[in-house]
Structure 1
Amino acid sequence: MGVRTAVDAVLAAPSVVDAMRAADDLAFEAAREPGARTIRILERLTAGDDEVAAIAATHALAGMLDEEASRVLVRLVGDRREFLREHAAWALGSGLPRHEAVGRLLGMVVRGGFAGMLAQRTLEQWSGFAPAPLVAGVEGGLLGIGEAAARSRLVETLGLVRDPLATAPLVRLASDASEEESVRVAAIAALGQRHDAAAVASTLESIAGDDGYLGAVARLGLVDLAATGPIRRRDRAGLTVAQLFLHADIDPGLRSAGAGDNGGIATLLVRLGDALVRDPESAVDRVVTLSRGSIEGALDDLVELEATDRGHEYGRIPLLSDPVPSADAWPLRVTARRGIRRILRAAGGVDVLHLRMADVGSLAAADVARELGTPAVFTLAPDPHAVIDSLDRSHRISRGDFGRNDVVEHFWFRTRLVHRLAAGAAHTVLFPRPRLEDDLRRLVGIDPAVDPEHRTVVPEGIDTESIDRAIARVEAHRRGADAGPALDELRELVSGLDPDRRGRPLILSVGRLHRVKGVATLVEAWASSPVASGTNLLIVGGDLASPSDDEREQLDRIDALVPAAERAARGLLLPGHRPNGVVAEWLAATRLGIPGSVASGGVYACASLKEEFGIALLEAMAAGLLVVAPDGGGPATYIDDGRTGLLTATWDVGRLSSALGEAVTAARAERDDVRAEQSRAMVRERFTVQRMARVLGGVYGAVAKDEAGLLDRAGGLR
């Protein structure tokens, strides 16, 4: 097509998503036509007002493998625009080391954040070619920087240099009692990764004798130091599958569901892991679920993983920092990678690793999978592609401000990570969508007709038995039985409302307090609608005691709409997150009611900007609730619009408000359980976690069989 035509395609693309896809063609053509003219064109684009085109040109320069193009990228690392500095730092990693850029990249590492992660990643890629300048740069930076967090980031970067040049300064920093603890932690953790083990073992052993935090980090370091060479795989008949969600404190009891990032995925992994190992037809007899956790918990998990070889086990990854929202967790890449590698090795290797998110956990896990030779399954969804498209169509982002939004949301990196994970996966799993094939082509740029035998559509599933038990408890209470703790708590919440608000139906919503989940939008739609006078709104989710930045943003918006002092009079209930079992009873109570407290005929509302599938929606339908949901993504494949629920543009406050009113009117008019039982039957027949486990078990078995066949064929070629 030529560079000029490729540039025109980027500039003339009808949407941001289309322009991002056209950027791939521009990079390809620039690599085919390197030279002064191409560099001039691309450099001109980087200086323009079209921020999508500027980013596209930056990555096209990286693909040219040209000396002058590399010099342009080095200049862009110092650009006044933050988004271009980030993309230039990322793009430089595609080429050979540029010594003149090391200082600027280390400066980005010092400042931290997502840009620091990108810079550190580029420096790591360069370190094998030119370790000396990087070691010298870090040591020089440490001489002039006193702030502990910045020093620890530099030390972590030093630990990525595998050359023995880095060992002596790491030993010195790990042993220096005058250093801040976080700096010593970074050095100790890095020592566990050294190839020259004999040079660092005594240092780690001496620190490991300490009973405090440093001693625990050193004990993990010693585990890492001993875990070298091929994995000693256990001789076992069944498959071991690992699944990962880094941003949750996942536990079998689901006590933290709805707090921070502990959303539907955390619930799903617990239920799914249990179902996989219980299915008598499944080839999987061992599941290892990985999530964040404490160092002490991680050490305990390693002992457990080495001692057992079946069942659903958990492996905690200590991130050596306070928990942060997933959007801010990219700087934890190195720590996450070490923790994932440690768990998979302790488990004796796994047959399949299932990745689901375009986040730092999947970024780190994909690196480990390649290192250990583990085949990966990836759940492919048009995320963030669909979000970008939705924001573009609603005029909340544009080509002129995309880069500045990208600094916050990291859209470009996440879309490229989705492509990378899909390309490297042995099998991709897809969610049902109304226009699945069209969305894959238009939003993601993947043709589903290519290699269809390695793609499977797998609906998510829920534990309907727990919902059935909850309904039975509510029905028993309505007949006079004791309420039990969950219903007593709901009754107590409602009793805190003004007397005239009690005894009304509920609009219930369950999920994380995050802007993508649209919680504040739901409050606005409800509060501005006539339906607010006849209903109370119950929002379950969020850590109200210690809210994350994302939770705080939503809480502030909610307070601006319905101030805390007015909640009792206006009927807004915000109890925070609750365990999964409690939520199940509240779902049942929303439909059936609680005598003297909650009227029957309530509804469930999901106001997500995007919902790839919707675990909480399925749980609500399993309880027989009429639901309001987004009109795109997964919900449109299982909600019978106008019958079992209402599909609407949830990002539009007016349309969401109208849908709430229609749903409440319809639910209150019901005189029998016919519609409720239709919803419940649909979930039981199509969306149980047992059914999901059966389909995925077949996928995992096929991947393991393909992998074994590939190794056999490769062995026959020797």
Structure 2
Amino acid sequence: MCDLVPPLLRTSAAERLTAVLRRTLLDDVREPVAGWLLDLCALHGLAPLDPDEARAVGEGAPLWRYLHSLGHPVQGDPRTSYEKLLLDLLTDDRPRAGRVDGPTVAQSMLIGGAGRPGEGASGGLGVFLRSLGDALADRDDIGRVVTIVLAADPTAVVVERQADREHWTVHVPVDSPVALPQPQMGGHRIAITWWIRELLTRHALVPDVVHVRYSDDGSLAVADAARLLGARVVFTLTPDPHRHLAERYPEEGADEEALRFDLHRVRVADELVERADALVAIGGRGDELVEHFPQLGHRSAIAIEEGIAPLPATPERPEELVAELFAPARTLPRLDDSARGLPMLLNVGRLHPVKQQTVLVRAWLEAGLHTSTALVLIGGSLTDRTPDERAVLDEVLALAESVPEARGRLAVLPAWPNAKVRGLEHALATALPAPSPHVYACASVKEEFGIAVLEAMEAGLLVVGPVRGGLPHYVDHGRNGFLVDTSTAALLGAGLREAVELGGATRAIAEAGRETVRERFPIARVAGAFARVYRDRA
């Protein structure tokens, strides 16, 4: 434990802090403050209380973590699945990974998951990190990759290795019955840090470099664990949340809670910049970043584009994938035979206001595109919908009901696994032929990069996406796709109609999009750029 204590606490300051903590803990401090303080002590190797004193002021998981840090045997009566997991971890031996040649790289994704992008908070980042982790693990100059995610539910500690490569996934449990939303991450920060350090140490997965990508308390928790483990930190910068402040709160009367959270994320981003041993910018976003991070005048961010893995195999039965768009459903609309032979507008992603599915449906209807195209939305949970998913879906269905003529031209499906979505995109041209290319319609306010857009381009779909964000760095308007203003339904509808009315003339544009992805964005090439950053810091 002593080797993991930050240098700041290896001085007389540790003694003074220990004395302050002792007085505070014995001064009738109550939960949850007592638990937070005990966890803080456990993380930093401080021992202000003996075991009996700790039992008198603490309880449950924080107490057990503190006792464990003292080297004291831990026993207890677990009241929840989470507490049982903790006791099991503290009393059981865990299998350890073998030695590898080359640095160990950890990457975190504590919001959403990779299994079904488009469900809940899961999105393109999960797809990207899974394929990037595989590509890095396949390189000779990287020894091992560890992807850190939050467990879906606190019922098991799962640390798993892919059968064919050194890519491990560590599922960190949290004391929450539901997926942890970003604003609540701060209340679990210390516990997440403890679990990461404990699991990586016990399984011999201690990293040399840790890469974090969100400006939130979850990334701070991972960065805290990295520091305690002696690992370097790489942080990916984005214009948000700084950009949000000017756009969301231009006048008085703003939502104070939302404003407070965005201000907190700004502070977190600035703190991660200061802590990071290397900064990464997505693609060519350097100039915009300098506007929001003046400290970049004294240090630079390394620009790296993201990428996608090749489709493992083209679908063997493309007609079966397309048939699901037409299969009747009890609650969600599907296509009927009137949609056959029409170009399709496809949109894939989580149902969320920033993805603007409601703006897309409104644009499709108001621009009259429902008379000449079909629209397919794929995203959201089938049963356990979040409040955002319910709100978006309700508005989409209400819009569809308001225009009876559109019935049979709109399909709404829950999130599919990534491989199935990509299979559908490749299947459309042959199993649902149309006189012009099918269109991938990205209606987001902006995309930081757009993994789903790259996948659609690679499949030969004609891409129409937002002019704001990362798309302009690889979509050249009119040459390999179209950039449109997505700020209103009227502007989005006009942009979509322009692309659709060009008809078969856009086949060359769609093909140019496919070539762009195949030349610039194969995941193996992208992994090489990240590997250079990691090796230089390992």
TM-score, normalised relative to structure 2: 0.84
Q: What is the correspondence of 1:498-537 to structure 2 with a 5 Å cutoff?
A: 498-537=336-375
The one-letter code matched in structure 1 to 2:75 is T
Task: Tell me which of 216, 226, 249 is aligned to 1:397.
Answer: 249
Task: Tell me which of 150, 153, 162 is aligned to 1:292.
Answer: 150
Instruction: After superposition, give the CA deviation of every residue in 1:405-440 in whole Å (9 maximum; x if it has no partner).
Output: 6347x211112211211221111111123xx34312
Instruction: After superposition, give the CA deviation of every residue in 1:108-152 in whole Å (9 maximum; x if it has no partner).
Output: xxxxxxxxxxxxxxxxx988734434554543xx6xxxxxxxxxx
Residue 414 (structure 2) aligns with? 576
Shift in Å at residue 222 of structure 1?
4.1
Query: 2-side partners of 1:615 and 1:441: how far apart?
Result: 24
Residue 157 (structure 1) aligns with? 36
Change (3 A) 1:564 1:411: same
1:191 correspondence with 2:64: yes
1:549 correspondence with 2:387: yes
- The answer (yes or no) to whether the contact 1:440–1:446 under 8 Å persists in 2 is no
Q: What is the correspondence of 1:117-132 to structure 2 with a 5 Å cutoff?
A: 129-132=20-23
Q: What is the correspondence of 1:408-427 to structure 2 with a 5 Å cutoff?
A: 410-427=261-278
Query: 1-side partners of 2:310 and 2:346: how far apart?
Result: 19
Query: 1-side partners of 2:401 and 2:52: how far apart?
Result: 57
The one-letter code matched in structure 1 to 2:249 is I
- The answer (yes or no) to whether the contact 1:493–1:573 under 8 Å persists in 2 is no
Query: 2-side partners of 1:194 and 1:202: how far apart?
Result: 7
Query: 2-side partners of 1:211 and 1:421: how far apart?
Result: 33
Query: 2-side partners of 1:296 and 1:290: how far apart?
Result: 17
- The answer (yes or no) to whether the contact 2:319–2:431 under 8 Å persists in 1 is no
Residue 129 (structure 2) aligns with? 269
Residue 330 (structure 1) aligns with? 186
Shift in Å at residue 630 of structure 1?
1.4
SS at match of 1:543: coil
Residue 438 (structure 1) aligns with? 287
- The answer (yes or no) to whether the contact 1:508–1:590 under 8 Å persists in 2 is no
Residue 685 (structure 1) aligns with? 519
Residue 423 (structure 2) aligns with? 585
Query: 1-side partners of 2:275 and 2:212: how far apart?
Result: 11
The one-letter code matched in structure 1 to 2:139 is D
Change (3 A) 1:601 1:131: same
- The answer (yes or no) to whether the contact 1:247–1:261 under 8 Å persists in 2 is yes
Query: 1-side partners of 2:54 and 2:393: how far apart?
Result: 43
Change (3 A) 1:170 1:630: farther
1:242 correspondence with 2:106: yes
Q: Structure 1, unaligned stretches of length 5 or more?
A: 1-124, 143-152, 175-183, 477-481, 705-718
The one-letter code matched in structure 1 to 2:476 is D
Name the stretch that deviates more: 348-357 or 161-170.
Answer: 161-170
Change (3 A) 1:202 1:318: closer
Instruction: Report the number of matched residues.
Output: 511
Please state which structure has a larger fraction of its residues in helix: 1
Residue 138 (structure 2) aligns with? 278
Change (3 A) 1:523 1:193: farther
Higher radius of gyration, 1 or 2:
1
SS at match of 2:67: coil
Query: 1-side partners of 2:508 and 2:320: how far apart?
Result: 30
- The answer (yes or no) to whether the contact 1:437–1:447 under 8 Å persists in 2 is no
The one-letter code matched in structure 2 to 1:249 is G
Task: Tell me which of 389, 393, 397 is aligned to 1:559.
Answer: 397
Shift in Å at residue 381 of structure 1?
1.3
Task: Tell me which of 363, 372, 375 is aligned to 2:232.
Answer: 375
- The answer (yes or no) to whether the contact 1:287–1:312 under 8 Å persists in 2 is yes
Change (3 A) 1:497 1:625: closer
- The answer (yes or no) to whether the contact 1:128–1:161 under 8 Å persists in 2 is no
Query: 2-side partners of 1:608 and 1:212: how far apart?
Result: 38
The one-letter code matched in structure 1 to 2:195 is G
Change (3 A) 1:437 1:243: closer
Backbone CA RMSD of aligned residues:
3.4
Query: 1-side partners of 2:279 and 2:206: how far apart?
Result: 21
- The answer (yes or no) to whether the contact 1:380–1:429 under 8 Å persists in 2 is yes
Shift in Å at residue 190 of structure 1?
4.0
- The answer (yes or no) to whether the contact 1:171–1:191 under 8 Å persists in 2 is no
Instruction: After superposition, give the CA deviation of every residue in 1:60-107 in whole Å (9 maximum; x if it has no partner).
Output: xxxxxxxxxxxxxxxxxxxxxxxxxxxxxxxxxxxxxxxxxxxxxxxx
Change (3 A) 1:658 1:698: same
Task: Tell me which of 336, 342, 359 is aligned to 2:198.
Answer: 342
1:489 correspondence with 2:353: no
Change (3 A) 1:522 1:128: farther
Shift in Å at residue 351 of structure 1?
0.9
Which of structures 1 and 2 has the larger relative contact order (alpha carbons within 8 angstroms, sep 6+)?
2
- The answer (yes or no) to whether the contact 2:283–2:303 under 8 Å persists in 1 is yes
Shift in Å at residue 260 of structure 1?
0.9
Instruction: After superposition, give the CA deviation of every residue in 1:279-335 in whole Å (9 maximum; x if it has no partner).
Output: 34xx1121011111144542x41xx67x99961111000112121333443333233
Residue 12 (structure 2) aligns with? none
Residue 450 (structure 2) aligns with? 614
SS at match of 1:330: helix
1:648 correspondence with 2:484: yes
Shift in Å at residue 380 of structure 1?
1.2
Residue 534 (structure 2) aligns with? 700
1:316 correspondence with 2:143: no
Query: 2-side partners of 1:277 and 1:196: how far apart?
Result: 33
Shift in Å at residue 517 of structure 1?
1.8
Residue 447 (structure 1) aligns with? 296
SS at match of 2:412: strand
- The answer (yes or no) to whether the contact 2:138–2:165 under 8 Å persists in 1 is no
Residue 203 (structure 1) aligns with? 75
Query: 2-side partners of 1:400 and 1:328: how far apart?
Result: 26
Query: 2-side partners of 1:379 and 1:572: how far apart?
Result: 37
Query: 2-side partners of 1:155 and 1:575: how far apart?
Result: 47
- The answer (yes or no) to whether the contact 1:591–1:603 under 8 Å persists in 2 is no
Query: 2-side partners of 1:128 and 1:235: how far apart?
Result: 41
- The answer (yes or no) to whether the contact 1:260–1:547 under 8 Å persists in 2 is yes
SS at match of 1:329: helix
TM-score, normalised relative to structure 1: 0.65
Change (3 A) 1:188 1:406: closer
Instruction: After superposition, give the CA deviation of every residue in 1:464-502 in whole Å (9 maximum; x if it has no partner).
Output: 334xx43xx4xx8xxxxx446433323426994354344
Shift in Å at residue 643 of structure 1?
2.5
SS at match of 2:346: strand
- The answer (yes or no) to whether the contact 2:226–2:232 under 8 Å persists in 1 is yes
- The answer (yes or no) to whether the contact 2:67–2:74 under 8 Å persists in 1 is no
Residue 89 (structure 2) aligns with? 220
Shift in Å at residue 274 of structure 1?
0.7
Query: 1-side partners of 2:146 and 2:67: how far apart?
Result: 27
Q: Structure 2, unaligned stretches of length 5 or more?
A: 1-15, 42-46
Instruction: After superposition, give the CA deviation of every residue in 1:639-660 in whole Å (9 maximum; x if it has no partner).
Output: 0112222212212222111111
SS at match of 1:242: strand
Shift in Å at residue 628 of structure 1?
1.5
Q: What is the correspondence of 1:70-219 to structure 2 with a 5 Å cutoff?
A: 129-133=20-24, 136-139=27-30, 153=32, 156-157=35-36, 159-160=38-39, 162=41, 163-165=47-49, 168=52, 171=55, 187-194=60-67, 197=70, 199=72, 201-204=73-76, 207=77, 214-219=83-88
